[in-house]
Structure formats: C-alpha cells, structure tokens
Structure 1
C-alpha cells in the first residue's frame, strides 16, 4: 500500500519519521535509558495529525486501512534502524572533539550521525553561554 503512494509523499513521510525521532531523542537528551516507544508513538500521532501535510492529503480510505498503518509502522522501524546505525561523519567526530576540548569536559559516547548532530548543537550552545 505504501509503495503505491506518490514518490513525493513517500519522501515527506520519511522526512517526518526522521524529524519526529530526532525531536523525541533530543527531548530525552539521547539518553537511551529514558527511551519509551509508547511516548515516541504518542509524539508521532501528534505530529501526524497536527503537522504532517502529506497525511492530510491522504485519502480517508487509506487512513482507515489497518494494512496502511501496519506498513507505516514497519517503515518507521526501518527508518529508525537506519538512523541509529548511520555512523557519525569524520567531520562530526572532529567537531565534537574540538568542542569537548574547548569546553574542558570529558569525552562521552555517541553512536550515530544523528546523535552526534545533537551533541554538536548542544556543545556549541554551551560554548556560546560560556563566552557570554
């Protein structure tokens, strides 16, 4: 059923999944012990019904079809799996090392590109606050 959707809609769906996952993980500071799949799905539903233009464009018959939601859940799991398994870039690693050194803090673990992005933004914000 998902395969039959227009390419643009599938791309927007993928971007939505990434956005919601990234937003959720940032809200828990990428602390895996705080991860709650039910809360992530709650945020997903809120996003879907309140922010996702592509979902509003879907035919009501598709929205009501359990097969659609099953395939969408599979797609969510697939995208999340891809995101958490995408290694940080060399540039991200170098930037985190630079920021950690400038801030004089201990190094910390980060496992994927998206998590590295979160920490870079967090550390840059900390550095700006420290300079003020």
Structure 2
C-alpha cells in the first residue's frame, strides 16, 4: 500500500520518520539503554497527527488498513537502519576530535546523526 502513494507523499513520510527518529534519539541522548521502539513510535504518531501536513492526505480507510501499518513498519525499520548506517563525515570527525581535545572529553558516535548530536553538545560546552 505504501508503494501506491505518490512520490511526494512517500518522501514526506520518510522525512518525518527521519526527523522524528533523530529528535527522539537526541532527546534520549543517543542512549541505547533508554531507547524504546514504543516510545519512538508514540512520538512519531504524535508528530504525524499534530504537525505533519501529509497525514490528512492519506485516506482514512488506508490509515486503518493493517497492510498499510505493516508497510509503514517496514519503512520505519528501513529509515532507522539508513540513519544508523550513515557514517559521520570527515569534517564532523575532525571538528569533534578538536573539541574533545579542548574539553578533555571522549564522546563516542557511530553515525552521522549521532555525530551531529555530539558536535552540538560539545559546541554548547565550549560556549559556557
């Protein structure tokens, strides 16, 4: 069912999953121990029902269809895997390394999105 949606709608859904996942991970400080798929899905559900403009464009009968939910779950898993699999850029690695040396810290990060979180955290520490 997901594949039957327009390319723009699929793109909007994917973007909302990505943004919500990255925000959720930032909220839990990228802690694997704090991660809960149920909590993430709840925050994504809140986002799509209160802020996403695309949500109202999906017919109600489709929203209630179990096949659509299964397709969405697959898409969510794909997006999360893509976010977690994207390596940090060389620029991020260099910038983080320099700030960590200045601050005498050792934050670890495994993907580009987590590197954005660490970089922001370190910049905030430097501005204090």
Instruction: Give the TM interval when normalised to the shorter protein.
Output: over 0.9
Q: Tell me the secondary structure at the aligned position of residue 53 of structure 1.
A: coil
Residue 51 of structure 2 aligns with which residue?
Answer: 51
Residue 28 of structure 1 aligns with which residue?
Answer: 28
Q: Tell me the secondary structure at the aligned position of residue 52 of structure 1.
A: coil
Gaps of 5+ in 2: none
Query: Cα distance, 1:4 vs. partner?
Result: 1.1
Q: Tell me the secondary structure at the aligned position of residue 54 of structure 2.
A: helix
Moved segments of 4+, more than 4 Å: none
Q: Please report the RMSD computed on the Cα atoms of aligned residues, expressed in angstroms.
A: 1.0
Structure 1 residue 82 corresponds to structure 2 residue 82: yes
Q: What is the rounded CA distance, in whole Å, between the counterparts of 1:36 and 1:20 in structure 2?
A: 13
Q: What is the rounded CA distance, in whole Å, between the counterparts of 2:41 and 2:105 in structure 1?
A: 33
Query: Cα distance, 1:120 vs. partner?
Result: 0.6
Q: How many residues are paired up?
A: 128
Residue 64 of structure 2 aligns with which residue?
Answer: 64
User: Cα deviation per residue 1:90-126 (whole Å; 9 max; x = unaligned)?
Assistant: 11100101111222x2222110010001111111111
Q: What is the rounded CA distance, in whole Å, between the counterparts of 1:114 and 1:54 in structure 2?
A: 24
Q: State the TM-score, normalizing by the size of structure 1.
A: 0.92
Q: State the TM-score, normalizing by the size of structure 2.
A: 0.95
Are the equivalent residues in 1 in contact too, given 2:107–2:118 (CA < 8 A)?
no
Gaps of 5+ in 1: none
Query: Cα distance, 1:33 vs. partner?
Result: 1.0
User: Cα deviation per residue 1:4-62 (whole Å; 9 max; x = unaligned)?
Assistant: 11111111111100111011101110111111111111111111211111111111121
